[in-house]
Each structure stands twice: as structure tokens, then as C-alpha cells.
Structure 1
């Protein structure tokens, strides 16, 4: 995934400095930082400024998928995927759950986004453990990683059923981690990464946690995105083929 500079991003998204970029009352895309919105892009905390409130509702009414870029560092942005707005909530309990470091008075509402549909590919092999053992390995790995982070003072939310590109949302003070867990039944660190998971790894808060030999003698290794890219070879197992537009 290529990195865009801030001027290149401005060209893609019609300029401006709001995280919801618009032109002629049309939302062209989002440019977000997870320091301000740790649960982004699925959850966006909308402040009280008139322009951002207007743009949030404009995005909701538009009901179209737009590109979302995530800040990687100074003058560096990476495409995360395409998302659309599904819901805008001003419910006090919802605001309290998601407002993070902001006070309730600073928040107008919570904007919920969903990713463009991803087709997940199931990989099978005669050498794989049976489904019962695979489930046992998966549960053991998830439990081991939860215990590891809880011992470090993190509170953990399970996101396995949310299809958001990671399994666990970990919080400690103002630190947030989005952890994808992979478990193996052997000592070898080998795993399969979905298209959605690979895209989500653009988030600087994303982590890969591999639990080798998860059932009998678990050994945990944790990688950030750049460490993962350096440590492993990535071999495509299939391609989507379609007529070019």
C-alpha cells in the first residue's frame, strides 16, 4: 500500500483540513488520525463545531462508500479502504461509551461506519487440524492474548464478530491497540491473513499477536505492521479476476 503526502492527499480528497473532506456538498473521503479517534474508522467521535456536524450528517445522507485514509506519521497517509456512514447517534449512553478522552460537552454525536463488502477466502488443506481442534487452538490463543494484556493493565473488548480487521480492542489510559490474534497448534509461526486484516494493518495501532503451540506450550510473539512485513513472506493464494472498467 503506497503512502501519500499531505499535498497528494489534498488532491485526492478536494483539499481542506477537516477529517470529512467535501466539495460542492459532496463527501469525497475521510482523512483520519486514530490518536483523536481510536476506534476509527468504524466509530467516529464528532465534535461540536458547526462544519464537522454538517459534514457528518452530509456523509450519513449520502449513503455512498468513500475512500478513508489513515495518518501514518508526519506528511504520510495510507488508504485503509472504502467506508460509508450507517448511523449517527446522539444517545448519551452511546456518547459516554465512545467519547474516549473528550468530555461529553465537546461531543455532538457518534458516527458509525461500515467497510465496503469484502469477500473472505477460506483456505483448506489435508494437513490442517480438524475443525474441532482448530476451534480449540483459536480459543486458546485468544484467551492467552487477553490474559497477557490484562496483566499489563489493559481492558479488553472482544471484536471478533465485528469483521473490523482485528479481534481485540485493548485500552490503557490513552493507549489503544487493535490486536489481530493468530494461533497455531505447532511451534511454527505460520498464519493466513485476510484482505480485510491486511488492509486494517495500515492502522498504526494494529498489532499481530501469534500464539504458537497454543494448546500445549503457548509462546506469544507480537508484531507491529512494519515488523510483520519484514519478518514474513507474503504469498498470494488466489486472485479476484474481473473485466476492467
Structure 2
């Protein structure tokens, strides 16, 4: 699912992009051994900028690991048309996976044998919206509920014969990777102390649900008291829940020279 904002920001040309990202023709732009920016094409990376498919080759694989080792976020651009690039914000890599399961999930229409790995990124400019009152818990309570929910889902999956890997830190659109034989499922875990399901879902998580048929929503109600697990497919989630915006990002389009 590509990053396509409803109102695009002013575009820059390729020459200006080169000036801002230290030149070069790779999508991971470097200078003097440091990553200076990203220039992404949606035809090669439909999940960009959150997910980048890394092709094979010593140079590009080295740059992928260099990006992963870069502690700060870098300016990220996406190609919108010939000689036209849009600035998306500052992004940093959170994980680089080279296992076959990750490659199979995110290869899109590209040939698996031509892919070295998958980079996962997060936006450093993302605004954290805190909702208070109206039945929403404070941040500390939410963390406790989330931890209880993840632990409960992990135990339940293990009882069902799954081997469970925690992927929460990777920002890859799900929390737990569950394997049982040839079966592989991606679980996004949501917890609440209420008896009826209610939760927040990020754009990245919802996009992941649309890209992967094996994605599952695991909602734990009464998470800290008498937990009950509800598991839904992407289609069931979209059918059963109403999605409502609680905040908007508002920007001003600056005139171009």
C-alpha cells in the first residue's frame, strides 16, 4: 500500500533532489560513508516508505545495512512523475530482515530470487496523539494493558502449537509472527480493559492487513482481569468495525519559486 497523501506537497526536480541527498543514482543516497537521504520509487517499493525491498548486489546490500546502522532519521523522497519528487519527511530504519518468510510477504511482483532482504522504516516526524478522557486510559495504564494483551496472545498461540516471535520493535505492521509447521500468521495485538473491543490502529498496521492475507487482528478484552481473545481476519475487521479519524495533520503548501 503506497504512501499517497490526498494533498501532495510541492515537488522538486531530479537536480534539486541530487543536491539535497548528496547525488548518486541509488535509492539509498550516501556520501563519505554516511546515508544522506532516500529516493524511492513506488513501482519497486509499493509499501514505501515504511517498507523497502532491497535487491541483491554487494553495493546495495551494504547500503541497506548502513541505513540500518544510521541512528538518526534521513530526508526521504518518493518519485511522483518523471523528474518530479515529493518530500515525505525524515525516516529511519528499524529492522532489516533477510529471512525467506519476510521476503515472501513483501516481495510484491518482484522475483524472490532477486531480493536480498526487507527494510522496515518509521517516520521520525510522526506526531504522537494522546487521547484523554472519554474512557481512554492514561499512557501508563495503556502500556500495562498492551503488555498483558501481548503476553496473553503469546501464551494462547503457544498452547495451540505455534512458535511465536516478537516483532513489536520492527514497525512492520504486526506484533507477533506465529509459525506452526508450514502455517505462518501475522498477529497485530490490541488490548483493552473494557468488555467490548475498542482500539487504535495505525496507517502502517492497516496497510499491512491489506497487503497480507495471513494478517490477523487479535483483540484482548478485559486484558488485565479476565482476558478474552477475539481473532479476526482483515476482511472481518473491516466489516465489523467503524474506522473514525480522531486527529488530522494540517500543513501549509509553500509557494514554489
Q: Calculate the TM-score normalised by the size of structure 2.
A: 0.56
1:201: how far off?
A: 2.3
1:46-91 C-alpha deviation (Å, 9 max, x unpaired): 5xxxxx5389559859987576xxxxxxxxxxxxx999896998xx
Counterpart residue number, 1:6: none
Counterpart residue number, 2:179: 171
Aligned length: 192
1:127: how far off?
A: 3.0
Which of 52, 57, 64 is the aligned partner of 1:53? Answer: 57
**3-state secondary structure, aligned to 2:230:** strand
1:140: how far off?
A: 1.7
1:187-210 C-alpha deviation (Å, 9 max, x unpaired): 111111223322332232322110
Contact 1:57 1:88 in 2 (8 A): no
Counterpart residue number, 2:41: 28
1:1-245 → structure 2 map (5 Å cutoff): 28-29=41-42, 41=51, 52-53=56-57, 56=60, 60=64, 65=76, 98-100=99-101, 109-117=116-124, 118-125=126-133, 127-204=135-212, 205-244=214-253
Which runs of no fewer than 5 residues in structure 1 stay unpaired? 3-23, 34-39, 47-51, 68-80
1:126: how far off?
A: 5.4
1:142: how far off?
A: 0.9
The 10-residue stretch of structure 1 (212-221 or 129-138) with the greater mean CA deviation from structure 2: 129-138
Report the aligned-residue RMSD.
4.3
- C-alpha distance in structure 2 between counterparts of 1:239 and 1:231, whole Å: 24
Which runs of no fewer than 5 residues in structure 2 stay unpaired? 3-24, 28-39, 68-73, 79-87, 104-112
Contact 2:149 2:189 in 1 (8 A): yes
1:172: how far off?
A: 2.6
- C-alpha distance in structure 2 between counterparts of 1:41 and 1:190, whole Å: 27
Residues 82 and 196 (structure 1 numbering): CA distance in 2 closer, same or farther, change over 3 Å?
farther
Residues 143 and 85 (structure 1 numbering): CA distance in 2 closer, same or farther, change over 3 Å?
closer
**3-state secondary structure, aligned to 2:190:** strand
Contact 1:210 1:221 in 2 (8 A): yes
Contact 1:66 1:83 in 2 (8 A): no
Contact 2:192 2:220 in 1 (8 A): yes
**3-state secondary structure, aligned to 1:241:** coil
- C-alpha distance in structure 1 between counterparts of 2:208 and 2:226, whole Å: 29
1:199-245 C-alpha deviation (Å, 9 max, x unpaired): 33223232211011112221111112221111011111111111247
